[in-house]
Amino acid sequence: MRIKFWGVRGSTPAPQPENMRYGGNTSCVEVRIGEKIYIFDCGTGFRVLGNHLRREFNGKPMFAHVFVSHFHWDHIQGMPFFAPLYDGPDNRFAFHSSNRTSTIQRVMQEQMAPPYFPVGLRDMKARRDFYNLDEGRIQIDDLTLETKWLNHPQGCLGFRLETKEGIFVYATDNEPGSPVFDANVRKLAEGADVLIYDAQYLPEEYEARRRGWGHSHWREAIKVVMESGAKELVLYHHDPEHDDACIDGVVQEARNHFARVRAAAEGMEIVL
């Protein structure tokens, strides 16, 4: 299993020079298991991944599963810019998302409709298949996918991939404090080899003025990883106002409590 980060920022792209070491693109993580491709979220990092895939496949057909945690802008805004969607029907993408608030088909169509975008959905020539997800466990290929709801306005799905190579968990956009959702995220993370978890705010920011906004902080991330028995923690969904120096400080503090922690950075790879 190879995990690669293409977008790590929350809320809005933040491509300032002081953010470049960790990156300014919004949420997108790629998982490769053998030749199979699994993509989590379609923020602006999805555009960068698309350009990479176009070069890699060089005209050959490609197929990927795309899991969308929810439909807030920072998780969908790369969709209209994903080049392989325009390259013809030999490319195929299976989109998986909940239809609790809308459908992924409608979301894609509406964000590319006038007056928001000059190119329509009809210009995407690749085959797109759409699958509804809710809480539960399903088989995809030769792996098991488990999904649980997280604590976020309008909802957000967390994902757990169980494979022969290891267990990967993607749990972004989650606010602590609800017994139900706190239990959900710990169940997802139980024994995981890699836990990617929301750490958008500093603890003091969260306490002072961010309660109810649907995000977590590094202290809660440490609690989750230690209580779930996950082996490695990747802090994710960095706030656009947190520059590289701020994130360095967070990692340094977090490692005083749990050794195997790092912050997600664009281009970073983890191999299991």
The confidence score (pLDDT) of residue 212 equals 86
Q: Give the pLDDT confidence of 194-238 residue by residue, as tens digits.
A: 999 999 999 999 999 988 889 999 999 999 999 999 999 999 999
Give me the sheet containing 63-67, strands edge to edge: 127-132, 92-97, 63-67, 36-40, 28-33, 2-7, 269-271
Q: Give the pLDDT confidence of 148-182 residue by residue, as tens digits.
A: 999 999 999 999 999 999 999 999 999 999 999 99
Nearest-5° Cα angle at 182, 179 to 183: 85
> Domains along the chain?
2-271 (3.60.15.10)
The confidence score (pLDDT) of residue 210 equals 87
Q: What is d(CA 195, CA 235) in angstroms, rounded to the nearest whole number?
A: 9
**What is the distance, to the nearest Å, from the Cα of residue 113 to the centroid of all Cα atoms in its chain?**
25
User: Residue range 72-91: average pLDDT?
Assistant: 97
The confidence score (pLDDT) of residue 237 equals 98
- Tokens standing for 78? 């790369």
Q: What is d(CA 139, CA 188) in angstroms, rounded to the nearest whole number?
A: 16
* 167-171 and 194-198 beta bridge pairing: parallel
Q: What is d(CA 38, CA 143) in angstroms, rounded to the nearest whole number?
A: 11
Which residues on adjacent β-strands are paired with residue 195?
Answer: 169, 233
Q: What is d(CA 131, CA 104) in angstroms, rounded to the nearest whole number?
A: 9
